[in-house]
Chain A
């Protein structure tokens, strides 16, 4: 049955490890075999250290044999997006400018997963500095969608989505700035959650846009996502924006939701995200699946109503001013002086020339585009019109959410307006690429939790259903997502990803 291990969810793998039905080495080897076999095609990983992973797995197995008390995650393999700094393990953030850099420290979330006894399989591919929605902006190679290798796996956490959907990791961490966990999860048939801003530490997460970046889980099931989220969440004194509040009970919420009891839950369907008069750019199939899912919730006792959030229409332009502005500053430290790439330092060039050559050659076109955009938006004389105005829009969006949450418990929408598109289809059209984030941006700008859960197929490709909740009410996202997942699984008779396994036998 070894071949089947990589099609199981993490909770089940954890149960087998605890029961002694499987060992961590065996499990780790199964994923490494799968990586060896599939990653050539999928491009999910930028770095895999099989030897280190197996050594680590052997340690955990030995500890278990010795009768040590181990946590629920001990021995479970995990993949980390290459945006997380990992001590001694190459970390590039998908960029040439960091090629060869081995950080001297661990990101807080990486350290927490290490302490929980997980086995790091490797670092996953991503759009350079998390800028993109397709992972085509990776400086190394594009990642591909396991449902159709000619299509994108979403982005920027596309390496993580390809790895988990393709069975190259049981679960993975991604980061979400404008939708970079939720959209790749949606287009590859995974559960992906962006936590409340400040509820998961950003320490050691290579910053794209500081006021938006959040790390979160990407998994095969809602319960797995909750389990991984609980392991990484909670206050971190090294991140001053970290919220000092206990992590809500997410696994419990997922279990509760899976029982399907939603009586009294008030659900708001956001008109501006695919509702009447706002369907331009949305796939009909995506809208159909979302409508069916809303009906499903109603069937489980939820009280469904349409809600209008007019400021959401302004989310896209506001986001594409705020994120590049912060990025232009966050990426200033990559100047070739202290780590990573250095170009042209042959004794004939000035400091400024070496800095500029390094940045010219080390950054890809999308990163440069956003640095230029952000630099412009922050310039004296333009600040108020661009950055200042975008921050005001952010306030308006937050107000819309606050008003909506006075009447409903959660808001729902499609996660992505479309299913996965063919690789190359949008590379020459940045605006079309940016539109992929339409539905995910409002929760990002307001710092609210939002989850994407698979809600069916359109044109044979996965569609994601987004559930948004008030700040710190991440448990509501898990509860509703688990209800959707359980109902659809029951109706289908199989888990969502089993459809992919059946289609492409391992």
Chain B
């Protein structure tokens, strides 16, 4: 059963979207939220567990101070107010991946509240209000075995991996974001991207969406233009890439528009996003939602961050992505558009590192946005996944600048570096790629060209200077491109004039 959808541009003539996001970030702490277990991703199932994170009878949680600090730093980076006293709460529900029968979370007393994050789309700035940032524990992971889809339906049995259970999870909740209009999907995406960059710059998490260390739930609603009330929202769960965030919002807008056009009501429900089709499908209806029976976690003492400690954490915050972008744009003398390209290409950090390794900003940008972007595109990988380091790119730039290689040779050097043959200088040596000086070999090649093409020499001497190109080409062929064309041209001119 596929949904009826309204064309995107058409729905915008009648409806106004409001989006909101709940983002979960798995912190990169060395140990779990309430026990000493390791948090390494990809370990053998159930090897990073203990009585506490398995919820064995009698076990008790103890708060990981590192996780509190990381959450406060995220809150500070988002301009939040940090609570001077707050408690954890139990969120009670039954599911095999929550070993205690409740998730230890925060309810009405979050650690951080009332912040904001400015994001830019098409040169326009949108302020996203942050309602709260709180800390909780992750659940285990269910593995449904025996079915074709990996989903619970059709599976013969299910396994649970508790390695993930108890990993600290920060939830960042926005207030509804109105007023983005047609750009609502892009604003949602830009918000998640910016949040990801902030968390990364703080070193609080590796924020790998593909590994699930950053996960999004996207709320979307539509209201008729001019309406004073917002529409009923749906919550699309597990939207796990930036592109999907945008697609999920767009899809929900188109689907809800069709529902409203038909005179029906949008159901308040949880929906699942499907990467393959870009569509959403209904999950649990919120109207029959569980009563989580929240109450303050009696096994934990309240968290009361010391004012001086919070001030010290604030003072030690690194430069945040927006500030960094502004600084680099100015240092490198780029226009806003150029900067946006750089950021969208995912090359900002690479260019910065390449400049730090000694390359000129223009040169570094040229490499990463040009030749290297092409290579990444051909290989279908991110720039960062290329087997070349910023230091190697800077070195390559130096070799071109000092005339050791020309642009054509440089590309061959890059081939060698990407093939794992070592640093550029090593590749130049090993492959014999250096531009020839006025060596005996080059003099011989020039003499050979002159001797082999008396007719061309005559034309040049008769004033047809353009004919010299044919002689240059002949030398370049003989030297298999290793000669510097300008040098060859000069040598030929000297000899033709002198004869």
Contact = CB atoms under 8 A, between A and B. Distances in A.
A375 interface: yes
B58 A205 contact: yes
Interface string B98-135: 01111000000000000000000000000000000000
Interface string A176-201: 00000000000000000000000000
B316 to A, nearest CB: 26
Interface stretch (B70-78, B88-96, B204-212): B88-96
Q: Name, among B55, B101, B160, the residue most crowded by chain A CB atoms within 10 Å (CB to CB).
A: B101
B54 interface: yes
Contacts of A93: 57
Contacts of B90: 329
A354 B101 CA distance: 15
A332 B96 contact: no
A387 B294 CA distance: 11
Contact of A380 (B55, B59, B102, B293): B293
A211 B300 CA distance: 10
A240 B300 contact: yes
B246 to A, nearest CB: 35
A351 B99 CA distance: 14
A98 B57 CA distance: 10
Contacts of B299: 207, 210, 240-241
A379 B293 contact: yes
A379 B291 CA distance: 7
A23 to B, nearest CB: 33
Contacts of B294: 378, 383
Given A329-B90, A333-B100, A378 B295 contact: yes
Contact of B94 (A91, A332, A380): A332
Given A325-B295, A329-B293, A333-B101, A105 B56 contact: yes
Given A203-B58, A240-B300, A378 B51 contact: no
B60 interface: yes
A275 interface: no
A277 interface: no
Pick the most buried of A205, A375, A378, A379: most chain B CB atoms within 10 A of its CB.
Answer: A378
Interface stretch (A38-46, A335-343, A481-489): A335-343
A332 B92 contact: yes
A338 B99 contact: yes
Interface residues of A, number: 45
Interface in A202-243: 202-207, 209-211, 237-241
A209 B90 CA distance: 14
Interface string B244-258: 000000000000000
B379 interface: no
B96 A351 contact: yes
Contacts of B58: 84-85, 103, 107, 203-207
Given A326-B298, A332-B102, A240 B293 contact: no
B301 interface: yes
Interface in A380-409: 380, 383, 387
A373 interface: no
B61 interface: yes
A355 interface: yes
Contact of A238 (B60, B92, B101, B300): B60
Interface of B: 51, 54-63, 90, 92, 94, 96, 99-102, 158, 160, 291, 293-295, 298-301
21 contacts: A84-B58, A85-B57, A103-B56, A103-B57, A103-B58, A203-B59, A204-B59, A207-B299, A210-B298, A210-B299, A237-B62, A239-B62, A241-B299, A329-B92, A333-B99, A333-B101, A334-B101, A375-B293, A378-B92, A379-B291, A383-B295
Given A93-B57, A203-B58, A332-B102, 6 more contacts: A104-B51, A207-B58, A210-B298, A237-B62, A329-B90, A378-B294
